[in-house]
Amino acid sequence: MIFYDCPTAPSPRRARMFVVEKGLEIDTRQISIADGEQLSPDFLAVNPRATVPVLITDEGTALTENLAIATYLEARYPEPPLMGRNADEKGRVAMWNAICEGQGGMAVAETFRNSHPAMKGRALPGPLDLDQIPELAARGQKRVAAFFDLLEERLGDSEWLAGDAFSLADITGFVFVDFARVIRTRIPEGNAATQAWFDRIASRPSATAC
Where do contacts with a second copy occur on this chain (CB under 8 A)?
49, 55, 57-59, 61, 63-72, 75-76, 84, 86-88, 90-95, 97-99, 102, 123-124, 128, 130-131, 133, 135-136, 139, 142-143, 146, 150
Sheet containing 2-5: give its strands across: 27-30, 2-5, 54-56, 62-63
Phi and psi for 183 in degrees, rounded to 5?
Answer: -110, 25
Q: Name which of 138 and 192 has its Cβ closer to a second copy.
A: 138
Helix (H, G, I), strand (E, B) or coil at 64: coil
Q: Name which of 6 and 137 has its Cβ closer to a second copy.
A: 137
Q: Name which of 65 and 159 has its Cβ closer to a second copy.
A: 65
d(Cα 120, Cα 149) in Å, to the nearest integer? 30
| Smallest separation, CB 61 to a second copy (Å) | 5
| Smallest separation, CB 187 to a second copy (Å) | 20
Q: How do beta strands 2-5 and 27-30 pair?
A: parallel
Helix (H, G, I), strand (E, B) or coil at 142: helix
| Smallest separation, CB 160 to a second copy (Å) | 15
Q: Name which of 140 and 207 has its Cβ closer to a second copy.
A: 140
Q: Name which of 93 and 207 has its Cβ closer to a second copy.
A: 93
Question: Do 116 and 182 touch, CB atoms closer than 8 A?
Answer: yes
Residue type, 104: G
| Smallest separation, CB 100 to a second copy (Å) | 11
